[in-house]
Structure 1
Amino acid sequence: MRRRLDALIGTLLVLLVVVGASRWVDTTWRPVVVLQSLGPFVVVGLGLLTVGTVLLRRWWMLLPVLACAAVAWGMALPTFFAHTGSGEPNLTVMAANLDQGRANADQVMAAVRAHDVDVLVLTEATPDVIGRLDAAGLARLLGNRAGQARPGTFTGTMIFSRLPMTAVPEPSDAAPAHTPSLQPEVDLTVDGRPVRVKAAHPVAPLPGATDQWRAGLAALEHWKQGVPAGERLVLTGDFNASFGHPGFRALASGLVDAQRAAGLGWVRTWPVVGQRWPPFVALDHVLSRGLSVIDAGQVAFHGSDHFLVWAQYALD
């Protein structure tokens, strides 16, 4: 019996270490890409394994289990501590994946009103859902718009704003083959100061599309590097990637993730699939530079497999 317990603990530890270590492997091999989404389970699993090892009094296994747990929890704990600013907020940004137009328009607009949103980024936008949103008050509240809604596809993306904004033309060296979805960007004026806002929606790492997914993240990183260092920017949407993916960490480097800045810990925005299981990974993000995060969060709404995300900023 003791040998079986030792073998079970050792096997579980090896499995958790393999999943955790996958976050440092920058690959497009889909099994690894999927494993990289499971990082939070490694932290929880190592915590439970530590408790189980103590209760079972398998003392010789406790040291390696504790060492791995300490590394995992040391990486996770900082995300539970807020480092937000204290200024007066003057910009609120929200992003929602509308799941090919199936989203409940009234609930999206209720969230827009509740958080007094200035800029709304909508991915997987179709003409039908934009019509329903306009009927629910979108056109009145956020009268400026850029981008395009497309019927029956994942590729429609739009930006709405109550603030003055100007659409930024797509650069001539853009690579739409990497990201068929529209990713519009606009220049805003917030209290007389400019802010660049870009929508993000690289393709999902589905079978046969992982190379395209990785290239889409790299294209967004290239875009970030092309924005002058002193310019304020917000990059938000459904990234189809989490901090467990090296490509997303490279993209987010030098930017502030609003949910992390707010100390929200294990943020989960996908998948929302009825009552069968809860969401477990954050694919939707609000990233920024040159702005101070005051607050952030996510909201569930019917008709989509994503939570929407929002962030409140004060301009530095």
Structure 2
Amino acid sequence: MSRARIMSRLIPWIAVPALLGLLLPLQRAWWPGQGSIGWALDLFAHWQPLYVVAWLVACLLGTLHDRRWLLGLPLLALPWITASPVAPHTDEKPDLVVAVANVNIRQRDPAALLDWLQRKPANLVVLTELSPDYAAALATRKYGGFAHQALHPLVSPPGLGVLSDRPLHNVRVLADGLGALRLEADLDIDGRTVRLVAAHPKPPMATRKYHARDRLLRELATAATAHPVIVAGDLNATPWSSALLGHDMRPLRRASGWAPTYPSEARGLFGIGIDHVLVSPGFARTGAERGPDIGSDHLPVRAGLRWRGE
């Protein structure tokens, strides 16, 4: 068989899965349920950068036989179109910089995290998978200079913590029916009370966990219609997941990007972006970036926020 025939037969095997993957976020937004297979469909929706590369390869190979394949190139923009909404951008200085770091339950040394925060200061730092050993090490280093802390370390992944340069009020730790935690606190931004929610839902690798994650984020989106809210943490959802898509999630918008954060190997080259900062409509984003390797299996993220009014 000639090389040309082999290539022509190979193209559909690349193009069809890539196209289905690129269209999957639309299905997740319009019809997110699907009972016991919903969580599996959601996992396939995560890999939009991979589908972009595969579709590009298919189009380029296809043009060797038929130039009409060039008509498929605009579909490369789908991940930008189908991703969950982002907060509006502003060039103003931020009122608040929020950092998110999954520090890994097995990690004990916060030196790399604190060094990054010294180079890239933040007003709030949300920590997930916070262990007692890591919390104790933070204490010995005076919490990196943060004057206020709300820590709930555990010997298991649900441990959470918040470091802040401003007071945290009404701190409470809440659990869902599966043992996942969220830490809530109120803080003042220029005389306005803002609710901070540090969240880490269970990885949605089964139907109950998948529904619990989506239900939590929709409850927080509903709360964001009543008062200013910042949600930050390892949300175990990408911007193309049903957890962040749909009209009922519009009150919470991403202030962080969608660059891969997990796993951290090779700078997340083969990973997915599941660590986020979400904000209610009164906030604009001033910029976002992904942080360096801090010794965890996640890369941290950082987002600047500006209050723009209701």
- The equivalent residue for 2:263 is 271
Note closer, same or farther for the CA distance 1:185–1:279 as it changes in structure 2 (3 Å cut). farther
CA contact (8 A) 1:120 1:159 kept: yes
- Within-5 A mapping of 1:167-316: 167-169=170-172, 176-178=176-178, 180-206=179-205, 209-229=206-226, 231-250=227-246, 252-260=249-257, 267-273=259-265, 278-289=269-280, 290-316=282-308
CA contact (8 A) 1:118 1:162 kept: yes
Q: Which one of 27, 39, 45 corresponds to residue 48 of structure 2? A: 39
Gaps of 5+ in 1: 261-265
Note closer, same or farther for the CA distance 1:177–1:135 as it changes in structure 2 (3 Å cut). same
CA contact (8 A) 1:201 1:240 kept: yes
Paired residue type of 1:214: H
- Asked if 1:158 is matched to 2:155, the reply is no
SS at match of 1:164: coil
CA distance in 2, matches of 1:276, 1:77: 25
Paired residue type of 1:218: R
CA contact (8 A) 2:175 2:181 kept: no
CA distance in 1, matches of 2:127, 2:20: 36
CA distance in 1, matches of 2:95, 2:175: 34
SS at match of 2:245: helix
Note closer, same or farther for the CA distance 1:19–1:86 as it changes in structure 2 (3 Å cut). closer
- The equivalent residue for 2:59 is 50
CA distance in 1, matches of 2:61, 2:98: 43
CA contact (8 A) 1:259 1:297 kept: yes
Name whichever of 248-257 and 219-228 sits farther off: 248-257
Note closer, same or farther for the CA distance 1:107–1:276 as it changes in structure 2 (3 Å cut). closer
Gaps of 5+ in 2: none
CA distance in 1, matches of 2:233, 2:249: 13
- The equivalent residue for 2:75 is 71
Note closer, same or farther for the CA distance 1:269–1:103 as it changes in structure 2 (3 Å cut). farther
CA distance in 1, matches of 2:169, 2:14: 54
TM value normalised by structure 2: 0.85
CA distance in 2, matches of 1:10, 1:194: 54
CA distance in 1, matches of 2:139, 2:194: 25
Deviations 1:185-236 (A, max 9, x none): 1110122222111012110123xx342133222122113203443x221111
- The equivalent residue for 1:263 is none
TM value normalised by structure 1: 0.83
Note closer, same or farther for the CA distance 1:238–1:276 as it changes in structure 2 (3 Å cut). closer
CA distance in 2, matches of 1:20, 1:159: 36
- The equivalent residue for 2:119 is 114
Q: Percent of counterpart pairs with the same letter?
A: 23
Note closer, same or farther for the CA distance 1:69–1:202 as it changes in structure 2 (3 Å cut). farther
Give the aligned length: 295
What's the CA shift for 1:135? 2.1
SS at match of 1:211: helix
What's the CA shift for 1:117? 1.2
